A and B are shown apart, each in its own frame.
Chain A
Amino acid sequence: MVTRTQRRSILAVGAGGLALSLALAGCTAGGSESEDGSVSLSYLVDNGEATVATAQALADAFMSENPDITVEVETRPQGADGDNLIKTRLATGEMNDLFSYNSGSLMQALNPDETLVDLSDEEWVASLNDNFVRAVSTDSGLYGVPMGQSMAGAVIYNKDVYAELGLEIPTTWDDFIANSEAIKAAGAAAPIVQTYDDTWTSQLFVLGDFNNVTAASPDWAEQYTNNEVSYSEEPAFAGFEHLQEVFDKSLMNEDFASATYADGVTMVATGEGAQYPILTFAAQQLMTTNPEAADVVGTFPLPGPDAATNGLTVWMPNGVYIPNSVEGDKLEAAKQFAAFLATPESCEIQAESNAPQGPFVIEGCDLPDDVPAMISDMQPYFDEGKTNLALEFLSPIKGPALEQITVAVGSGITTAAEGAAQYDEDVVKQAQQLGLEGW
């Protein structure tokens, strides 16, 4: 066994090597503190155009209210590169004063109890939605303030196609298939759009089905974390079965293997495709490429076996976190900025600078009236409480190869049973990495 100090120095060498390579790549971290009592904060966000615009608008509004605090927006790459950059900076204590990052299982992977500032004593915590609180908390603290809106993993559909064929929103899987067969028979539109060039989009049949899993077995997520249930068994297996069924009945667009996410959204907007299981952040894509279709594209939940429990699977927004390397005046200023983010004023700025993707999770924040139909269609489910969190906010385990596995099942390369078994094998690595009991 290696002693603690040895481990430290080994870590430092390893992390230092990574930090060096990042530094060579031209990244620098940190802000500066001047002598006249003014504080400068650096705020790290991903380099998505929409994200940067929103972050800058928020920083500007905050600075005009707090003239002695400057907030500088810095960007990082998206995806796995960004994840690793954040982990490296946190591990070396070089993190910016504030950073925006996923909530749920990805936040848990940051080791928050040791790397982030606990915000559970802040006043604004009381105004947060319970689901969000769960998504940014561990047993010993709450670490994030919401940035953006919640969203759903659901089916977006073309209302014109539905109206023309006289179809109704399906509440069971059988209805959904019946609708799809009818659309196929009519011949004008691809019944179900799939876009496997962007592999992540293939996971929605499995991940978006989680509301139905919870409906059938309320403690499923906890049992899953304890290695007591698996994707090879019902109810969770249904997601893989659906994927295979859609392929077997050839209900997909002809070019499913080479189409991209952007293609998919456009297909639904133009009526070339009828239904597309996807996250509702697709509203942003829709408003960028096909704003004329804002009222044409609607949303309904991914249906399961039981119409009575039909509801939305919900994803929580990103959180903004403060690393525990921030101290003194800077920490006070960073907490001030976090408090500002939790106000209705901040929600308004966010909704103005970017098409919303779903309801806010802060009390007192409402969506503007002119949101796309895709988003307003979600509201009734929220109002009636017909929503459930996605698995990644209830369990820290998510296998990295799910998207390749769902592509393989959805393209008929492997069967649903093989795919589910592969995924069960895949999550073992993640669970072991996290050091969970019973794996």
Chain B
Amino acid sequence: MTTATAPGRTSSPPGSPGRPTEAKRKRRPMKSPYPTWFFIPAGAFYVVLFLIPTVASFYFSLTRWTLFDVEFIGIDNFVRFFQEPQLVQGFVNTFIYAFLTSGTKVVLGLVLGVFLSSQIIGRGFLRSVVFFPVLVSVIGVGILFEVLLDPFDGPVNGVLAAVGIEGPGWLTDPSLALFSVAMVDVWSGVGLATLIYIAGMVAIPQEYFEASKVDGASAWNTFRHVTLPLLRPATVTVVLLSLIGGLRRFDLIWTMTGGGPGFSSDVLASVVYKQYQAGFFGLSTAGNVVLFVVVAAIIFPLSWWLNRKEDDR
């Protein structure tokens, strides 16, 4: 049973910032101070709640499943899934969305993080204002912005009209819808990135800044050569978290556009959800497996690469 505690790759959340090399070093002939049966309760929970559903979903992705009947059909579901006419657009949209939101969160979060960790008036208040959207339910945010961005009665276009600009159909113009949702995503998620950056800033010893001041570095040089490199761990965390979030994003997109108009803001997760709605349980499970593999295939190498660079220095 002790060997069963080896990390089950399939069920650990993709991209959890583990250090595989370290784990291997420690694992060797370590003798546990606890008897084996001690692990049974936790192990049972793990098997029932994580291992069985994971294995079951891999099985069901190979079947035609109507809830009444299961028929094993091999990889037909995957073939079918990749023939989905909307899938190519769904993939492209998923990547655009994930990289756009992740990139913007890094830049904005860094700017806000540096700003909010400097000595300014009302710092606590400003920090809470930036963090506030993170506390609001995503569905609530979605519905709120759907109302705000309404092309005819929405306040956003109302304000634009007041200064003489004709606002676009933010969520109804097929070329704009995905970007509008991405911007709302950034608005609601940048608080978390900022928080991580603030924590990173606080962790930098003041001596570095004093030293650079003594050396006569300008504010920009200090930022460029002291702050930025030392914030690297924070950046890695923000990039990984927001990228995983962006690749799996569903709730906000679904409440704001439902993947529409047409299929113009469909992402992988919403394609999968629509198949589930239609009662194609096997097919949508196959889609979930694909989503899992895609997220893992991007996050694992990226995480390894980002963390290795850190170790090298």
Contact = CB atoms under 8 A, between A and B. Distances in A.
Interface of A: 1-2, 7, 10-11, 13-15, 17-18, 80, 83-84, 87-88, 90-91, 109, 111, 114-115, 196, 199, 254-255, 257-258, 400-401, 404-405, 407-408, 411, 413-414, 422, 425-426, 429-430, 432-433, 435
B70 A408 contact: no
B261 A14 contact: no
A408 B263 contact: yes
Interface in B139-185: 150-152, 169, 171-174
B279 A422 contact: no
Given A10-B70, A91-B68, A257 B172 contact: yes
B261 A413 contact: yes
Interface centre among A88, A401, A413, A426 (most CB of B within 10 A): A401
A43 to B, nearest CB: 22
A179 B274 CA distance: 38
Contacts of A10: 59, 70
B75 to A, nearest CB: 14
A400 B263 CA distance: 13
B219 interface: no
A299 B171 CA distance: 32
A127 B64 CA distance: 39
A80 B258 CA distance: 14
Contact of B151 (A83, A88, A115, A255): A255
B65 interface: yes
Interface centre among A1, A2, A257, A435 (most CB of B within 10 A): A257
18 contacts: A10-B59, A10-B70, A13-B56, A83-B279, A88-B67, A90-B68, A91-B68, A109-B279, A254-B152, A257-B173, A400-B274, A400-B280, A407-B262, A411-B172, A411-B261, A413-B262, A429-B278, A429-B283
Contacts of A413: 174, 261-262, 264
A142 to B, nearest CB: 20
Contacts of A83: 279
Chain B interface residue bracket vs A: 35 or more
Interface string B62-88: 001111111110000000100101100
Contacts of A408: 174, 261-264
Contacts of A407: 260-262
Contacts of B274: 400-401
Interface in B257-303: 258-264, 274-280, 283
A205 to B, nearest CB: 15
A404 to B, nearest CB: 6
B70 A14 contact: yes
A90 to B, nearest CB: 7
Contacts of B80: 429, 432
Going nearest first, the 10 A-B pairs with the smallest beta carbon separation are A408-B262, A400-B278, A257-B172, A80-B277, A91-B67, A413-B262, A111-B68, A87-B67, A255-B152, A413-B174
Interface in B28-59: 52-53, 56, 59
B261 A257 contact: yes
Contact of B67 (A7, A15, A432): A15
Given A115-B68, A258-B171, A199 B150 contact: no
Given A84-B67, A87-B67, 5 more contacts: A114-B68, A400-B279, A413-B262, A433-B66, A435-B71
A88 B169 CA distance: 40
A87 B56 contact: no
Contact of B85 (A11, A13, A422): A422
Nearest to A406: B262
Contacts of A15: 67
Contacts of B52: 13
B60 A111 contact: no
Contacts of B261: 196, 257, 407-408, 411, 413
B68 A432 contact: no
A47 to B, nearest CB: 18
Contact of A411 (B53, B56, B262, B280): B262
B85 A425 contact: yes
Contacts of A254: 152
